[in-house]
Amino acid sequence: MKVLKGLLGVLVTSLVVLAGYVYWLGGFPVNIKTLPNSQAPSAENWQQALSTAQTVDYKLLQVGRIVMDRNTLMQGAPDSYPQRYAALPVLSHWIRHPQYGEFLIDAGFSKSFQQSNDGNYNWLMRTMVSLSGIKNSLEVPLNLHLNHKVLQLKGVFITHFHPDHSSGISDLPSERLSLPMAANTTYWQSLPIQGYFRSSTTGKLSTSIKAEV
């Protein structure tokens, strides 16, 4: 009986710790601070803002794919997918503004996914990927997509910090880039991204990415 109680206690403690970690991975929106962008034009409303809109060049970059159970995302909803497993694209978006230069929206997978299914994930993320049956594959790294353009990038906008949107930042020339959400090194280190990747990746990002926009 004592052994069973001990095992039950360990199980409950493990579940509480895991739940807390997963909650932490979700981020803390109230702590997110954005940097003022002195280059951004000001407008009183959308009509005024769009009245001086300029054409930008755009290219969709498919970096890789994730094969996963789509019904896990649907949580058993009535419109769940009959074909449960599907290869979902991992994307990045390249844009070039005539005045402000070239930017990426999201960064996809890093080159580390060429060697393994879990790329530059940390130990807990590797475990979660293994248990969930998710298959990650890198198709074309960002540097091959961009070719010489990689040196012309001014910054990266991350829609959210899930690994399939942010892992590829570590392959970019981070000493030249700006991340508008990274107000300073301490703030960058506190982001949920710290819970996704190995320390070698997060260490590089936190020390080399500039905060200026």
Position 24 pLDDT exceeds 60: no
Q: Where are the domains of the chain?
A: 53-74+83-184
CATH of domain 53-74+83-184: 3.60.15.10
| 104 contacts 116 by C-beta, under 8 angstroms | no
Q: Which residues of 22-41 are buried (b: 16+ CB within 10 A; e: fewer)?
A: eeebebeeeeeeeeeeeeee
| 150 contacts 172 by C-beta, under 8 angstroms | yes
Per-residue pLDDT tens for 102-153?
999 998 888 888 888 888 787 777 887 787 778 888 888 888 888 877 778 8
